[in-house]
Structure 1
Amino acid sequence: MGIDDPSCVLCGGEIESSCHLFFKCPVARAIWYSSCWGLRADKLHISSSSDIIKLVLNPPQALCLQEDQWHISLNMAHIIDEIWHLRNRTTYQEAQIDIFDSIKQIQLKFQEFSTLITLETLPTAQAKHLFWEPPPIGWIKLNVDAAITESFSTLAVVARDHKGTVIKVWSKLHQPCSPIVAEAYAILWAMQLANHEQWSHVQIEGDAKQCFDPLSVEDVPPDWSISNIISSILSLKICFVSVCFRWVNRVCNAATHATAKHSVASKMSLCCNKDNLPCAVYSACMDDCLHVPLF
């Protein structure tokens, strides 16, 4: 394809336009689906450059809690930027199209920028704790997360020991529900899994503050939509010698977030150990281990 050819350099199927390049092109659609919680870019009503700006600034129904809306906008901006750079690399450098590499670059940029933004908005004392921390010796920490699409949700659990070693990673498809309900079900599932594994001392950790406050802070009532789930979680405490619940910032929950996204993209459940982790999950776990003290 010549440099003056008006066809899309990524697919060659249509005349290149902003709408086609960023949303209708099969390559762009694959990147959106894998990098933005299973978003079907071809279903969006985009007909002009102003529509693209509006989409980024005011994304559709959030796939996370309202206070985390900025994550969606930040991720969308990185996706559009990567598609543009991929187009230019293909046009001017004759680079090969590598969708998986583009997805990896988006994930790395998103993680870097979101961490910087969070660090800038928190006091220094809090910023020091923006890394995953291992549990005490003899304890197992289970991080939990959930992801939402229009047709289903996914629950994810990552279990690690005091050295940061991954013991098991689980994810499963779940019925469509609100973010807070999905997060609560993820905590309940983590308790059930820990009981099945016969772990006696467990920490349950996640970034859904509305779910963890009723479990860890006295006199904080749960939202009505998760009250029954919270009751079920608390009833399982008798199965353990010790169990504690802890809310953490999203950047401390990256491995489980990557696991939930993997299940959204693949539409499959997952059960694996440290030797067969999906690439994105392995990368997130390795990043966490950079901050684990040597014993």
Structure 2
Amino acid sequence: MHDINLQLNQLPYAIRAELTAHVGDTSGFTAIQRVAHHRAVANNLIAYKRSLYEPLAPGDEMAGVIADMLQGTDLSFITGPAHQPFPRWATHEIIKYLQVFVNNLAPVQTRLEQEAHQRAVQAAQEAARIAAQRQAEEAERRRIQEEAARLQAQREAEAAARLAAEQAARLLATQQAEAAARALAQRKAEEAALEEARMALALAEASMPQPATPAEANDGNTEQSAEHRPAREIFFIPGPAAMAEIDRATLALKHSIDAAVAQYASAIGPYLNTSPALAATAR
């Protein structure tokens, strides 16, 4: 607005007043719009003045008079037919002042337009920079989200793998514990069966009659008849074959102790009985 006021103050008062009246209120205009509007109004006044009177260059004696009259309050002194010299000379002076005003505002408008264009370019560049920054930030945000999602998926997979490994380890440990418990129970059962077999063998040996010693055989009457002498008992010491049969019978006891004992007694019975031929000879 300073540039416009500077150029307006260079106009004669009457021309400035008429131009200002035609310009009207420009309070809502930008600087470029205000300068362009003043120039446009001035050009319209120039065209209007030319339509009324054909300008004519005044002589030196008239230029000073008209310049003084233009410092008045209005331009109503321009009257008379269009062909009269005075109105034509006055119109020439008015158009000259208005044209100078328009010409002086032209570089101002150009400068303002260039500044506006530069600001628009800077604003566009700044907007592009902000947009690129936002895009970079958005890309970084997406990258961070994707990385977080990948890490979360990796953690979940690792947790699932650890859980599966722990479950497999627990299952294997349970199976091994159960197998160990079964083996221990089987070993204890075999040991119990073997112990019972040994006890049964010991009881069987203890229940067998003991043979008479040589002293007991020679004691008393040597002429005692064979009918009154006690029968001689024969004791059996099991050999390798008998021991193998005993071991087989012992292992069978782990499934059923009663059946194994019966089978054991049946298996070793022939080895414990006295031969009938030897018993007849003893009698």
Higher relative contact order (CA 8 A, sep 6+): 1
- Quickly name the TM-score band, shorter chain normalised: under 0.3
Q: Normalising to structure 2: TM-score of the pair?
A: 0.22
Normalized per residue, which structure has more strand? Answer: 1
| TM-score, structure 1 as length reference | 0.21
Whichever structure has more helix as a proportion of its residues is 2
The structure with the larger Rg is 2
